[in-house]
Each structure stands twice: as structure tokens, then as C-alpha cells.
Amino acid sequence: MSEGGATSETTGGTKNSEKPKYKSKVSGLYAKAKQRILNKLGKRTLLTRYPKADGMNKRIRNIDRSKNKIVALSEKQKSCLEGFFEASSTLRQLFIALWKTEGYPQAWSETTGSFGVQLDDEQVKSINLFEKDYAEFENKQTFAFQTFLAHLEDFTRRPLTNETSDETLLLYQLRRAKKDYKRKRTRYSDAIINLRTCSAPPSSATYQHFEENVELAKYALQQSAEKFCGEAWKYQQLVRQEMFERIKHYFTCYKTWTSALQSSVEEFSPWMDSSLFDFNSFERSRENEDYEKMMGASSAIVSHENKQDSSSEEESLDSGNESDVKDT
């Protein structure tokens, strides 16, 4: 009885361990689909994990992300500097215009019927010299900004490397190697899934065929992974070499730009300490002459307005008297 029971358990265990073919097929399809979805999401499982190739791929992705960030930040800095330069230049010109129209001594002119600037020959000469230096200052500021903006525009096209034909070829070979590696990785995971979901016994030809496929797929994956890592390493070497040049180029351009701005400011700034921008010395040189002229002009304007008012009142009275006569 005991032998019969043992035989019965063994037979039952064998039947339970053998899966129906349709269940094995469905299970295999589900497992393969799951692996493909996880691969699309960038998640690795025991079937698709290859640390060396995954590490290389991560470094390549970091390079690509860094390039995209450099492009975005270069465009942002360029846009901000364009707005900053335009606002700064407009503000400076507004200050100079106000200084010329409202800061100079003015007096009323009976000829033109308006207030006008009253300057002596020495002041006119100084102001003409100032305007010449100011125009040169603006030109240097503009040139410095435009030069640096051109460099930023270059970084939007060549963010981290020189974008040469050699790099284009390396990228093409790298993408092709990566595509082959992903295809071999999928083939290997499919072979493992086929073996695991095989309903045939291990001694069967079908099971042994699946085992051979696993070994072949594993070898092909290893070869493809080494090829991908080799291409990735060559590309990284090129990026590392040219990255140093690009980083140095950016900071060199930045230094040249700021130095040019500082130099033009230092050349122009002495004018701010001159008598042209000293209100007290300007007024002392005029000895309140302009204020007296303005007061006199104001009195003349008031008396003229009073005469106009009185004449208009007389006209209105005359017209009123005429209307009364007509009514009578």
C-alpha cells in the first residue's frame, strides 16, 4: 500500500509539474510583454540587467541631458542679456536726455516764445566733447554685448563639443551598437522565458533546444554589450577632450565681455566727476543769472496775460452794450 501510495504521489507530482501547452504559451507571452514594457520604462530585471552596459548607457544619457541643459540655459542667458542691454541702454539715454534738457540753465526767449538753454562757449565745447565720449562708450558697450551674445548663440549649436564630422560618425556607430545591444538583450530575455515556461521535461529535445538558445543568446548579448561599451567609451573620450575646450572657451568669453564692459565704464566715468555733473559749480558759474532771467520772463508773461485778459473783458463789455442797444 505504501508502495502504491508512493507511486501514486510520484505520478501526481509529475502531472502537476507538467504545465499544459496553452498555459505555458500564455505565460510566456505575458512575461515577454512585461519585459518589453519594463525596458521601455528604463527598468531592468534579472533577465535584462547588464551592469557594465547599463552604466555606460547611463553616462551617455547624462551627456545628452547636459547638452540639452546647456542649450536651454544659453538661450535663457542670451534672452535675459538682450533685455538687460536694451533696458540699460535706454535708461542711460533717458538720463542723458533729461540732463541736457532739464539740467542746463534755461531762460525765456521772446523771439522763439519758449525756454532755451543758455550756455557759454566753454560749456558748449565741454558738452560736445562729452557727447563724443558718451557715443564711444555706448559703442563699446554694444560691441561687448553683441560679441558675448554671439558666443552664447554658438553654445546653443555646439553646447559641449565642436560637433565635428568625427563626432557625427562616432554617434552613428554608438547608436547602431546600442540598437543591436537592445535587440540581443530582448532575444536573451525571450530565450530565458521560453526555457522557464517550457512544458516539456528537461530530457526532451525541445527543452534542450531552448537551453541551447539561451547559451547562444547569452554569448551574443555579451559580444554586443562589449561592442556597445567600446563605442560608448570612444564617444566619451571625444566628449571629455572637447568639453575642456568648450568650458574654457565659455569662461574666456565671459571674462573678455566683463573686462570690456569694465574698461569702457572706467574710461567714461571721469565725466561723472567733472563740473558738468556738479550742480553747485554749474550754478556758481552762472551766478544766478538764469534764475533772474526766468523771473523776469515770468513777469513779462504774467503782464502779457493780464493785458490779454483786460482786453478780452473790454471786448465782452462792448459786445454787451451793443446787444442792449439793439434790444432797445
Give the CA distances from residue 59 to residues 64, 66, 217, 239, 242, in Å, rounded to whole numbers and listed in that order. Answer: 9, 10, 26, 11, 16
Distances (CA, A) of 98 to 92, 235, 275, 279, 321: 10, 59, 17, 14, 52
**Residue 315 in this model has a pLDDT that exceeds 70:** no
Q: Is the pLDDT higher at 163 or at 206?
A: 163
Query: pTM for the whole thing?
Result: 0.69
Grid cell in block for residue 37: 514594457
Mean pLDDT, the chain, integer: 79
Residue boundaries of the structural domains of the chain: 24-99+137-275
- 267 pLDDT band, cuts 50/70/90, is very high
Burial (0-12, 13-18, 19+ Cβ within 10 Å), 188: buried
Give the CA count within 13 Å in the CB-facing half-sphere of 163.
Answer: 8
H helix intervals, 269-288: 279-286
In Å, what is the CA distance from 227 to each residue of 89, 233, 317? Answer: 56, 10, 110
- Percentages helix, strand, coil for the chain, rounded to the nearest 5? 85, 0, 15
pLDDT digits (tens, 9 = 90+) for 283-309: 665 554 545 555 444 444 444 444 455
Q: Average pLDDT for residues 272-286, to the nearest whole number?
A: 73
Which fold is adopted by the domain 24-99+137-275?
Answer: Substrate Binding Domain Of Dnak; Chain:A; Domain 2 (1.20.1270)
Nearest to 185, CA basis, from 64, 51, 28: 51
Residue 115, SS3?
Answer: strand
**pLDDT of residue 57 exceeding 70:** yes
Please state the separation of Cα 226 from the chain's center in Å.
37
Contact partners, residue 89, CB within 8 Å, separation at least 6: 138, 141, 142
**Which residue did the predictor score with more confidence, 236 or 13?**
236
pLDDT, residue 77, reads: 98
Residue 316: the pLDDT is: 55
Residue 58: the pLDDT is: 92
